[in-house]
Every structure is written in C-alpha cells, then in structure tokens.
Amino acid sequence: MSLFETGLDCIVLNGTVVTAADIGRYDVGIKDGKIALLAPALALANVPASRVIDAEGAYVMPGGVDAHVHLAEPELFGKGRSVDDYTSGTRSAIAGGTTTIIAFAPQDKKDSSLLIALDDVHQKAVKNTYCDYSFHMIVSNPCQQVLDEFPVLRERGISSVKIYMTYEALQLRDRQILDVLLQARTHGVTTMVHAENGDMLSWMTEQLESRALLAPKYHVTSRPPILEREATNRAIALGQLVGAPILIVHVSSPQAANAIREAQTHGLPVFAETCPQYLFLTRSDLDQPGFEGAKCVCSPPPRDGPSDLEAIWKGLENGTFTILSSDHCAFLYDDAVHGKKSAISEDAPLGRFKYIPNGCPGVETRLPLVLSATRLRPQRFVELTSTNPAKLYGLYPQKGALIPGVSDADLVIWYPELEPFPVTNAALHHSADYTPFEGHRVCQWPRYTLLRGELVWDRDNGGIVGAKGVGQFVHRGRSAFCDEQPPWDVDQY
C-alpha cells in the first residue's frame, strides 16, 4: 500500500521549504519519525494524517543543529558554574528552533582517561533532554592513555574533540596539540581549537591589574585581536605540520577570519565557526554602568565596532565560516557564588574582569536573531546553522537535511509574517537571569518545532509541548568534510 493509502503521521502543508540546496513551495509528509516525502504545495491536502500543520507559506527548514553548547559544566573558567543543565538548555534550544545540540564533556586535567567525563555527561543527559544531543570531548590532559582512547571514542559515536590554547585549567602546549592532531587525523576525529594565546593574555591581565584597570570593559583590552590572530595562525601551522583538519571555534575578529581565509585559499582543511555575539555585540556592550558589562563577557570578546561586525557577516556570506553556533555558556548574573557577580569583592566593587566567568547564553536566540537580520540567503542560513554542522560533525544526512526515507523529521516552521518585537529574557526558556541580546529587535521566531515528527514547540498554543526525556543521543560518524586520505600537500604554503 502506498503512503497515500496508509496515511502519514504528520503533514506540513504549504511551506516555503528551505534546504541548503533549494527553496520552493512544498508539502512535507512525515512517517515513523522520518521525512517520508516532499510534494508540490497542497498536493497532500487530502491525504489522511494524525496531525496536519498549515505552514501558510512560511519557511520550513531542517531543525537547527547547534554544535557549540556548554551545559552542566563544572568550574572551568574561574568560579563560574553553568546555570543551564541538559533540561533547561535543551528546553531553550527547541523554543529557538534547534533540534540537535552538541555539548561538551570536559576532561579533568587530573584524569588520565576521557571515558570518565564521557560517562558523566551521558548520565547527566539521559532522560533529561528536550532535543537530540551528542558530545565533544574537551581534552585537557592528552597523555598516552587518552590518545589511545580515540578509537574507543569513535566506537562510542564521538568524532570530535575540543582543545584550548588558553585558560589555566585547559591550556595545552604546542607539542601536546600536535599529539592530539596526529591522533585525531589517524582516527577520523575533528579537532576544534579555542585559539587565543594564553601567555599573551596572562601578561596583558597582569599589566592591567597593576594599573588597577579591573572593570568588565578591560576584559576586551586584555584580549586584543592580535592574541586571537597569533593563536589562529599557530593552530593552522600545527594542523598543517600534521596534515590534520582543524575547526577554529568562536572566531570574533576580522584578523583571525583573514588568516583562516588565506589558509583555505591554499587548500588547507581549515574550517571556522562564528557566533551571534560577534555579529551583534561590540566592546561598548561591556562598557556599561556599574558591573552590567559583565553580562557580555565572553572569550574571544566582542570587537570594536560596526566594521568588525560587518567583516564577520561577510565571512558568513563568502564561505570563510563553515558553521554558525551559539557558544551557549550561561551563568547567572546576579549570583555572587557561581555567577558573574562572583568577580565582585569588597576591594573591587566593580569586579575584577579576570574573575568574571566567561560566556553568554544564546542557544534560543541564535536562529531568530540571524534570520531576522535578513543578511543571509535562506539556503545559506540553513547551510550554516543546520546542514554544515551536521556534515562537519558526522550527523549528516540523519540531521541537517530533508531527504525522504533518510533524514529525521526535525523541522523548524517560522511565521508567514510577524510584527518586529524586542528580545526579552522573560520570554526565553533557559535558566539564566539575562540575555546579552535584551532589546535587540527580531521579526521572526519559530512558530513550531518538530523533533523526529513530534511537535515539541508550539509558540501560540502552550509553548513547550514536548516532554523532558524525548531527546536521544545521536551516534556520530566521521566528518563529511574530512577525507579518509588527505589530498592536501602539507609541504605547500
């Protein structure tokens, strides 16, 4: 019997369906949690289905894949402790149209195995999420045992690691980075690099502290673009020496973006990520009365002004950036123990920037902010926020695509039209007590989110309608962007 006779589980009628490749008016049929078919608009109007959603001509896209989300992490970046756990973070994700997140499993430097951290995040996430999820390992102690575990990671569906060139608790030396890169290349693991020069940073911080320049705005002064550019260039060179692909995360400055573009022009497998904070925030957001600027403290920091923001938008348009993630890393503002205010003391009433927990919430605002800016072609928007993260991290085509019989029926359905309105923290679903994007105007918000065919977000009828625990761990393969046999010549360039 055909699907037209047996019926479908769900039909999304009359959408403007957008994928990374195409845009057009279609109906989407869903069966057993998978995309079953795409048909010309309204062709499925009379097919029986348990649920019918009229998209009324609005954009229908594959659900967002946010490949950079920090949840339930311990104190890695000073005294700060993430306020979002796997429940609140993924609740916020689906309300913002994201159906898959990749969070982090941070290795404690004292541990000589990665598997302790991996088991720990599995325990935290299982039965607690509103969307599907996976993990990147944060490698802080790449001893021989840890390197030997890379094939085990692959067996367990983990195909990416993050390493840091800064932060005392995490920073690796160059030779340790080489060890990780070689092992990653050998076992089809993608290496994400936090590229800031940690020694330059601690020297700059001492200089500022010795002059009593402590307020939140000096966080930006302590991390000038050259610090990011140097580390980016070094990461590219280290990757080139080994012939390993790298992904530079949360790129903030035109200088770093230019270094990446040059490497790409020479054919090196260098990929890059940026985030909404580098499209919408500048250093003036950290220069607020009192301690308010701490809300926008993240690393790398927002840059100087409009020309920096413009350069990052250009990088999204011209292909320098492969993916756009949130780097959601939420701390309470008004919490003197584990939040931003833990940096305030009696002798420093405006806080000491070096103690402000680094990171901002953003998993829910990522898609609406960027779509509302109407800078990117809709297909490019889907590519950067869903398809490419799925390809880069071995989730494709289960995620990030709408291939009948193959892709999960993860969808975000927007409004045909919406009056512009300001983002307010009160309307968000994370546990943070602020958003750095308060007051930014948007003209779009997800109307419906579907996870494997189930309606989990219905903005006008109950909001969160999915249940905690419906999210599943997704076993990942190797990156679609990294060939088994590297074709590049490491002696060139």
Residues that bind ligand URP (CB under 6 A): 70, 77, 194, 250, 298-299, 327, 329, 358-359
Contact 73, 104 (CB under 8 A): yes
Residue 38 corresponds to which tokens in the numbers above? Answer: 């795409």
Containing 105, the helix (H) or strand (E) segment is strand 98-106
Cβ distance to ligand URP smaller for residue 91 or 250: 250
132 vs 327 by CB, closer to Zn ion? 327
CB of 249 to ligand URP, least distance (A): 6
Q: What residue 179 binds from ligand URP, Zn ion, none (CB within 5 to 8 A, per partner kind)?
A: none
Closest CB to ligand URP among residues 170, 382: 170
Site for Zn ion in 222-281 (CB under 5 A): none
Q: Kindly indicate which of the ranges 55-63, 91-99, 191-199, 235-243 contains the residues binding Zn ion, using the contact rule CB under 5 A.
A: 191-199
Asked if 194 interacts with Zn ion (CB under 5 A), we say yes
> Each residue of 107-136: b (16+ CB within 10 Å) or e?
bbeebebbbebbebbeebbeebbbbbbbbb
Q: Does 327 bind Zn ion (CB under 5 A)?
A: yes
Q: How far is CA 487 from CA 190, 243, 248, 396, in A?
A: 16, 9, 20, 22
Q: Which stretch binds Zn ion (CB under 5 A): 73-81, 107-115, 152-160, 325-333?
A: 325-333
94 binds, among ligand URP, Zn ion, none (CB under 5 to 8 A by kind): none
User: What's the Cα-to-Cα distance from 369 to each of 362, 373, 437, 440, rounded to whole Å?
Assistant: 10, 6, 9, 8
Q: Which two tokens stand for residue 446?
A: 């997800």
Nearer to ligand URP, 221 or 379 (CB): 221
Q: Under the phi-then-psi rule, with left for phi > 0, alpha for psi from -120 to 50, and beta for the rest, what region is 430? A: beta
Query: Residue 103 Cβ, how far from ligand URP at the closest point, in Å?
Result: 11
* Residue 328 vs 447, nearer CB to ligand URP: 328
CB of 194 to ligand URP, least distance (A): 5
CA distance 362 to 84: 11
Minimum distance from CB of 138 to Zn ion (Å)?
9
Q: Report the partner that residue 291 touches, choosing among Zn ion, ligand URP, none (CB closer than 5 to 8 A by kind).
A: none
Q: How far is the CB of 423 from Zn ion (least distance, A)?
A: 21
Residue 298 binds which entry of Zn ion, ligand URP, none, CB below 5-8 Å type-dependent: ligand URP
Distance CA 462, CA 448 (A): 11
- Report the residue number, 325 or 449, with the smaller CB distance to ligand URP: 325
Helical spans, DSSP H, in 78-132? 86-95, 115-125
Contacts of 312 (CB under 8 A, 6+ apart): 251, 252, 254, 257, 274, 278, 279, 321
- Tokens (6 digits) for 74: 């311990």
Closest approach of ligand URP to the CB of residue 327, in Å: 5
How near is the Cβ of 202 to ligand URP at its closest, in Å?
16
Neighbours of 336 (CB within 10 A): 13
Instruction: Write out the two tokens for 68.
Output: 């950079």
Residues near Zn ion, by CB under 5 A: 194, 327
